A and B are shown apart, each in its own frame.
Chain A
Amino acid sequence: MTAVILNGEARQLPAEATLELAVRAAGAPEDGRGVAVALDGEVVPRAAWSTTRLGDGQQVEVLQAVQGGR
């Protein structure tokens, strides 16, 4: 298992879990439309989600556009 902080919550993901799996585990839309990901505070481009492996203790933020502004 890989223990990560996913959108602020401690989560157990399978060993060798990728960022792509974490995005799905966060409940993001299947197609990933309008979604962006930061790993330990750095933006990871969508093209790299499936090849980025997660390690214990890493922080994953999965964001999307919501109503906001003024």
Chain B
Amino acid sequence: MFEMAGRAFESRLILGTGGFRSLDVMAAAARESGAELATVAMRRVDPSARGSILDVLEQAGLEVLPNTAGCFTAREAVTTARLAREALATDWVKLEVIGDDRTLLPDPAELLAAAEELVADGFTVLPYTNDDPILARRLEDAGCAAVMPLGSPIGSGMGINNPYNLRLIVEAARVPVILDAGIGTASDAALAMEAGCDAVLLASAISRAADPVAMARAMRKAVEAGYEAQAAGRIPRRLHARASSPEEGVAALAETSPGT
């Protein structure tokens, strides 16, 4: 269980809903993942769209977390967050302010400005941020309810490119740290949790997997395993081997030692 903005969550996996080929597959994967929160984007009404993602998520028992995906300026992101609050009756927002289309990396200056404005407007702000410990601190100081550093660029599946920076962020944060973006497979999610993250947000790794439902199950297990391993305290790395059987009482069976 982890707490964020005064609320307790059983699952440490937050599901992005992008990239699923159908709402049915998304619902099945969502159930299998155990996630309690699912991100949605705000887009123009499509009269030809069939089925409501809100109904499907509700039936699967997930709560909606709107994002500001597609925003390049603080102003766009703030307006999108306010639209989401109006549409979905939630003041929680996954804040994204992107710097360019090619990398989809966050724009730090616009991100911080948007975070400050949204916090002042009463939002619970969960910012998608660079893996920059100083920016993470600035976002926390601005009143964000969590920090969400990327492992690697959105949808890249490259895992955690800078484990050192992630450790620095985790070490300093007094709010939950949620690894957001870059997860490719289960071991990436486990590594994020072993690094001390409180949760992981992912979608593509599940939604674009050959079998999304099976990958959702794998991710649930990986997040749990990584968290439990971190809590259990791993052994230190050593350069040389360390025998695991007793060294006393070994029988003298060889007449001469080989190589001597």
**A interacts with B:** yes
Interface residues of A (CB under 8 A from B): 7-8, 26-29, 33-38, 41-43, 45-46, 61-70
Instruction: Give B57's nearest chain A residue, CB to CB.
Output: A65
In the complex, chain A residues whose CB is within 8 Å of the CB of B48: 27
A8 to chain B, nearest CB (A): 7
Instruction: Judge whether A66 and B47 touch: CB under 8 Å.
Output: no
A69 in complex: contacting residue of B45, B54, B88, B203, CB < 8 Å: B203
Instruction: Judge whether A28 and B202 touch: CB under 8 Å.
Output: no
Q: Tell me if B180 counts as interface (CB < 8 A to partner A).
A: yes
Instruction: Judge whether B53 and A65 touch: CB under 8 Å.
Output: yes
Instruction: Judge whether B45 and A70 touch: CB under 8 Å.
Output: no
State A27–B40 Cα separation when bound (angstroms). Answer: 20
Instruction: Judge whether A65 and B44 touch: CB under 8 Å.
Output: no
Q: Tell me if B33 counts as interface (CB < 8 A to partner A).
A: no
State A36–B155 Cα separation when bound (angstroms). Answer: 28
A5 to chain B, nearest CB (A): 12
Q: Tell me if B193 counts as interface (CB < 8 A to partner A).
A: no
Instruction: Give B203's nearest chain A residue, CB to CB.
Output: A70
Instruction: Judge whether B17 and A69 touch: CB under 8 Å.
Output: yes
State A66–B88 Cα separation when bound (angstroms). Answer: 12
Q: Which 6 A-B pairs have the closest CB atoms?
A: A68-B41, A27-B47, A70-B16, A69-B39, A69-B16, A36-B87
